[in-house]
């Protein structure tokens, strides 16, 4: 019995010593923790690294390589920012991804941005989750075929197998508009194929499709690859039809593909929309300001040929949607307005 009581007493004394030791240790650590906490607060001005996903387009188009260049410019000129370009299905997919929070910056066409903002055409609900950074360069609508195809006019596409762009791309909307003003229906008068630029030109080369709509800055890599093995033709859009298109859809403008592009023997008249950059509205005003400044004040660092067309002075031409506050701040500071 004594042994049990003695054992119980010893156990209680042991437990009490542990409690006292823990309390003493806690007081000591508390003093140290206070010092460490003050040290952390002092270094809290340094922001954590910000990851920026730049949503582009297919690897054979203009968005993807240009997006890679933009990412590099941002990384070279902003501290604590890591930007990366990602290949996507282009404009429509990008606007949906921005709405879902799956990207921070996105390439898109001005017409698609306007559709997204208004919840029109391919968008069921208005997208209020983005603001424009600025427009970049004309995106030329190129109706590509080979000279052997015999396709010379838009009307010649009737009954033909024609690529009208990857699902989720702005090219599809452009094809629909252009066919419409020429009296053709995209669903009834052609055999439409939803292919990206690379698959489109491969299909033309293989003979599985007859022609393709490609909306992209010229020269487009996929078309250049086709021109390296085949004699390429770009279908002309007359001034009359271009004007009809512009009267109906204000975001189009006349454009021209110069002689010599893709080996063309003479220039080709067509139409274009504008390529633009948008940013997610959750990005801070300061961050978007700095990225806008980095892009438009370092165009000499843009290795892509389209860099020659990109400038702050023209960045509000045809923008068509509200600017992100950070971009607005940059253009206001530089006296640039629409």
Q: What is the pLDDT of residues 279-336, one digit of tens each?
A: 999 999 999 999 999 999 999 999 888 899 999 999 998 888 999 999 999 999 999 9
Q: What is the pLDDT of residue 100?
A: 95
pLDDT of residue 279: 98
Q: Look at residue 167 in the predicted model and tell me its pLDDT.
A: 67
- pLDDT for the residue 89: 87
Nearest to 71 by CA among 90, 55, 60: 55
pLDDT for residue 44: 29
In sequence order, the 6+-apart residues with CB closer than 8 A to the CB of 236 are: 152, 153, 268, 269, 270
- Rounded average pLDDT per 10-residue block, the chain, 338 residues: 45 44 37 32 51 93 93 97 95 94 96 93 93 95 97 98 83 93 97 93 96 91 94 97 90 92 96 96 98 97 91 91 97 94
Helix/strand/coil for 203:
helix
> Would you tell me how many other CB atoms lie within 10 Å of the CB of residue 226?
25
Cα–Cα distance measured from residue 260 to residue 338, given in angstroms and rounded to the nearest whole number: 34
Q: How many DSSP H helices and E strands does the chain contain?
A: 10, 10
- For the chain, which domains are there? 50-136+275-333 (3.40.190.10), 139-273 (3.40.190.10)
């Amino acid at each position: 019995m004594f042994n049990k009581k003695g054992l119980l007493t010893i156990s209680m004394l042991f437990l009490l010593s542990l409690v006292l030791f823990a309390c003493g240790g806690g007081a000591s650590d508390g003093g140290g923790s206070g010092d460490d906490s003050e040290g952390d607060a002092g270094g809290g001005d340094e922001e954590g690294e910000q990851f920026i996903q730049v949503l582009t387009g297919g690897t054979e188009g203009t968005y993807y390589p240009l997006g890679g260049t933009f990412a590099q410019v941002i990384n070279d000129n902003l501290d604590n920012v890591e930007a990366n370009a990602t290949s996507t299905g282009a404009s429509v997919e990008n606007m949906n991804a921005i709405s879902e929070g799956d990207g921070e910056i996105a390439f898109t066409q001005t017409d698609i941005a306007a559709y997204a903002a208004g919840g029109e055409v391919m968008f069921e609900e208005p997208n209020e989750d983005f603001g424009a950074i600025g427009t970049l360069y004309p995106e030329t609508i190129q109706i590509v075929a080979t000279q052997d195809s015999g396709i010379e006019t838009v009307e010649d596409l009737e009954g033909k197998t024609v690529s009208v762009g990857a699902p989720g791309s702005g090219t599809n909307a452009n094809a629909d508009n252009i066919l419409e003003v020429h009296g053709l229906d995209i669903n009834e008068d052609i055999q439409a194929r939803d292919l990206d630029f690379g698959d489109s030109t491969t299909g033309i080369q293989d003979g599985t499709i007859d022609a393709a709509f490609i909306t992209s800055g010229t020269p487009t890599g996929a078309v250049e690859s086709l021109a390296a093995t085949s004699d390429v033709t770009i279908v002309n859009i007359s001034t009359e039809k271009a004007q009809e298109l512009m009267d109906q859809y204000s975001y189009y403008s006349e454009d021209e593909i110069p002689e010599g592009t893709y080996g063309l023997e003479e220039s080709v008249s067509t139409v274009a929309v504008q390529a633009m950059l948008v940013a997610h509205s959750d990005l801070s005003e300061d961050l978007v300001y700095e990225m806008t400044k980095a892009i438009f004040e370092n165009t000499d660092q843009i290795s892509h040929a389209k860099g020659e067309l990109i400038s702050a002075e023209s960045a509000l031409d045809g923008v068509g949607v509200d600017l992100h506050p950070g971009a607005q701040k940059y253009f206001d500071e530089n006296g640039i307005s629409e």
